[in-house]
Chain A
Amino acid sequence: MNAGAKFTIGAALIVGSVGWLMASGIKQTGQYFLTPSELSQKVAADPSFYDVGMKVGARVVPGSVTREVATQTLTFRIADGSASYPVTFHGLPPDTFTDSVEVVVEGRLQKDGLIHATNVLAKCGSRYEAVPKA
């Protein structure tokens, strides 16, 4: 077998493993990114959708944020106009988190309708601009 053919086999091995790693990576770690209304549709269509890891992007409902510093528990509601969910998060939210920003909540929707967040990302600080104060 000549070097070119051997190289082709080696190259195919590399390309194959890259492809395999990517496919299995997406399968194992991919998460739905939904809006609250998409989430409510999904749950209505497929009741087994509870307790699945996902991300939900929405606005925080102004005035809904309560922080308990001592236990580091944060609760708030997120909404997109047509659907709304309560969220509870244990940990340190980012500096940019307030009650008027867009957030990405990573977590699981429980049967009781509460989203248990494992991570909260605030989208606003992203622009590195001040929020115009009302």
Chain B
Amino acid sequence: MTLLGTLALWIAFLLGIWGAIAGFAGGHSGRADLQQSARHAVFAMCAVLLAAVISLEIALFHHDFNVEYVAAYTSRNLPTFYTWSALYAGQKGSLLFWATVLSIFGSLAQWLTAPRHRVYLPYVAAVTCLVATFFVSVTLFAANPFDRLPYTPVDGRGMNPQLQNPGMVFHPPMLYLGYISITIPFAFAMSALLLKKLDADWLVAIRKWTLLSWLFLSIGICLGMWWAYVELGWGGYWAWDPVENASLLPWLTMTAFLHSVMIQEKRGMLKKWNLGLIIGSWLLSIFGTFLTRSGVISSVHSFTQSPVGYFFLAFLAVAAAASFTLYGRRLPLLEAEAKLESMVSREASFLFNNLLFIGIAFSVLWGTLFPILSELVQGTKVTVGPPFFNQVNIPLGLALLALTGIGPLIAWRRASVPNLQRQFAVPAAAGSFTLLILLVAGMRDFYALVAIALGGFVTATVVQEFARGARARHRQYGEAYALALGRLIARNRRRYGGYIVHTGMVILFIAFAGMAFKTETEATLRPGESVSLRSPYGWTYTFTHLGVSQYQALNRLVTAATVEVARNGKKIGLLSTEKRQHVDATGRPTFEPSTAVGIRSDLREDLYTVLAGVVNGTEQAVYRFTINPLVWWVWYGGMIVALGGLIVMWPGGGSPAVKRTQAGYAVRLVETK
């Protein structure tokens, strides 16, 4: 199997090189045979890389521990589910996974692109081949998953217990799908630049792709937060870890692009900016992969001591230089067709929105790289942590939240005073009313107050938009309100799907604000003893330690401690938390003990318990109890964001040509006066 796998990698490597040559030559000369050949190279590359993936999966399932990768990440008693996901549990496998998925996306782009956008495809094939070849060559020359060991271990080392979590099975591939799919819009951008076809046409060709990668990134980030929360046991879901930041960066620039592209479609402005965002997002996606796959910045995720980092650094440098040189040479062709007419306009609010997104992205990048930059400049490493990121990004994020409400309501070109009054009277009142209630209820945290009040404002704008749209349909077509609402969304998916995404973001912001009121305590308890913790809602929770039990499970020894929880003296249930010592098939311990968190969630708050340890030989247990307000809403908000994204992406609903002129937010009820 390893022979077949390595052979497949070599064939993919050669096919990739050929695809790139044929694609560039075919695109340049216009020769149909070369163009066809490049297209076939993409398909063939996809087929051989799939063969390589299947070979690796077979080796994993057959427990062929002579293969170094199999021995390093699986063991005989690893559940099947995780044996399957071991494909991307390690560096080598995930590089193969990257190349394979890219070749699948590349093939889909070749296959599904509408006939009128076919002209871009030869160069698209060339760029996809080039990028995929880079990943294949890294596996071949620095990290071959098919490498064999000089001996065959009896059992593998098994997978790190922290990765044995359903969230970890779906989080990495989702994030990777997000990272990888950005290559397709990037390839189209390069193609448009090379062809000097820089009208809005290529933007139409990549619309679905940009949405797709945005959606995957969003889902991947949310799953990552969920995994960190339920698995790592430190009591939160976002730590501003370099790898978390790396996933956030392309998400920020892609989100900026999804907004600014509307200005180009509607008004022919921001052409340079949009191209820059696509190139930047792609570089950030490679950079994100690089951060995860090398150890440049000490981080809880980093893979250290491997030449892979240098490959990535070199590739990033060459790719950045090449794409920005090409971009620079085409700048004269990218002049705007219109000028900004008023500060009080949709365009201006989108521009500010973009500046904020880029500002946030820049500060996150800067903070992430600061240890390296400071070492280069000053000779000493200076690090910044969560306080820095929160201090910078909370105000910027809140400004962005305000624009989420303002942008969609303000007219294109120039908003009139009656327009502003008509649009903002109700939402502004809703926001002020929310603020008033919170103040009366006794909330005094400044940022939380602003976040929730803005949340009220933005929610009101969205409700107002849906209500007006549904009412208009009800009047015009006599549809019942529920039907009118359904059709409203179905007929104008980009606009109303976008509003649903905004609603999800509001929920996320409010949930983030809830963490300002987190409380925790640590306690060492004998059976029968208890500790109390006051929740931010004013209740008193009492945790009574019941006892410690030890037992064996599938691939681990479990030490479980249980507490009884009472709210204001009334029993509401039990919470268990475990220490797990994973063992291999022969019963020897593998890895360090890991902690399984006990969580009790409801809509208001989570009770989060961690067993820190048991005083040797006794049933005296050390706990940390945390009350995390509104955490459930993070997952709920994330699902709404994903749902909105799916609605925007859903196929059908008019041809793209029609859509372009009345795309999404472009259709305004107010403009008809």
The chain A residues found within 8 Å of chain B, CB to CB, are: 3-4, 6-7, 10-11, 14-15, 17-18, 21-22, 24-26, 28-34, 38, 55, 57, 67, 69-72, 91-92, 94-98, 104, 121, 123, 125-131
Q: How far, in Å, is A114 (CB) from chain B's closest CB? A: 22
List which B348-392 residues lie within 8 A (CB) of chain A: 348, 351-352, 355-356, 359, 362-363, 366-367, 370-371, 374, 380-385, 387-389, 391-392
Q: Cβ of B298: which chain A residues have Cβ within 8 Å of it? A: 57, 104, 123, 126
B610 at the interface (CB under 8 A from A): yes
Cα of A83 to Cα of B219 in the assembled complex, Å: 45
Q: Are B622 and A25 in contact (CB under 8 A)?
A: no
Q: Cβ of A72: which chain B residues have Cβ within 8 Å of it? A: 522, 524, 612-613, 622
With A69-B613, A70-B524 as given contacts, are A30 and B163 in contact (CB-CB < 8 Å)?
Answer: no
Closest to A102 in B: B298
Q: Cβ of B590: which chain A residues have Cβ within 8 Å of it? A: 130
Q: Cβ of A33: which chain B residues have Cβ within 8 Å of it? A: 371, 380-383
Q: Are A10 and B388 in contact (CB under 8 A)?
A: no
B615 at the interface (CB under 8 A from A): yes
B529 at the interface (CB under 8 A from A): no
Q: Are B359 and A14 in contact (CB under 8 A)?
A: yes
List which B121-148 residues lie within 8 A (CB) of chain A: none
Closest to B231 in A: A95
Closest to A93 in B: B612
B16 at the interface (CB under 8 A from A): no
Q: Are A95 and B363 in contact (CB under 8 A)?
A: no
Q: Cβ of A3: which chain B residues have Cβ within 8 Å of it? A: 339-343, 345, 348
Q: How far, in Å, is A38 (CB) from chain B's closest CB? A: 7
Q: Are B343 and A7 in contact (CB under 8 A)?
A: yes
- Top 4 A-B pairs ranked by shortest CB distance? A33-B381, A18-B359, A29-B387, A130-B157
Q: How far, in Å, is A74 (CB) from chain B's closest CB? A: 10
Q: Are A15 and B522 in contact (CB under 8 A)?
A: no
Q: Are B89 and A128 in contact (CB under 8 A)?
A: yes
Q: Are B380 and A34 in contact (CB under 8 A)?
A: yes
Partner of A69, one of B303, B352, B380, B614: B614
Cα of A108 to Cα of B594 in the assembled complex, Å: 28
B302 at the interface (CB under 8 A from A): yes
B300 at the interface (CB under 8 A from A): yes
Q: Cβ of A10: which chain B residues have Cβ within 8 Å of it? A: 343, 348, 352
Question: Interface range on chain B: under 10, 10 to 19, 20 to 34, or 35 or more?
Answer: 35 or more
Q: Cβ of B352: which chain A residues have Cβ within 8 Å of it? A: 10-11, 14
Cα of A127 to Cα of B304 in the assembled complex, Å: 7
Q: Are A21 and B383 in contact (CB under 8 A)?
A: no
The chain B residues found within 8 Å of chain A, CB to CB, are: 72-73, 89-90, 157-160, 162-163, 233-234, 298-304, 339-343, 345, 348, 351-352, 355-356, 359, 362-363, 366-367, 370-371, 374, 380-385, 387-389, 391-392, 395-396, 522, 524, 590-595, 610, 612-616, 620, 622, 624
Q: Are A130 and B591 in contact (CB under 8 A)?
A: yes
- Interface majority SS (helix, strand, loop, mixed), chain A: mixed
Q: Cβ of B383: which chain A residues have Cβ within 8 Å of it? A: 30-33, 55
Cα of A17 to Cα of B298 in the assembled complex, Å: 29
Cα of A70 to Cα of B341 in the assembled complex, Å: 69
Q: How far, in Å, is B572 (CB) from chain A's closest CB? A: 25
| A–B pairs, 22, beta carbons within 8 Å | A11-B355, A14-B356, A15-B355, A17-B396, A18-B363, A25-B363, A33-B380, A34-B380, A57-B298, A69-B524, A70-B620, A70-B622, A72-B613, A95-B233, A97-B592, A125-B162, A126-B300, A126-B301, A128-B160, A128-B301, A129-B90, A131-B592
Cα of A128 to Cα of B612 in the assembled complex, Å: 21
Most interface-central of B343, B351, B362, B615 (chain A CB within 10 A) = B343
Q: How far, in Å, is A115 (CB) from chain B's closest CB? A: 16
Q: How far, in Å, is A103 (CB) from chain B's closest CB? A: 10
Other than A95-B592, A130-B157, give 5 A-B pairs with Cβ distance below 8 A: A4-B339, A14-B355, A30-B384, A92-B624, A95-B593
Q: Cβ of A128: which chain B residues have Cβ within 8 Å of it? A: 89-90, 159-160, 162-163, 301
Partner of B388, one of A14, A25, A92, A123: A25
Q: Are B304 and A126 in contact (CB under 8 A)?
A: yes
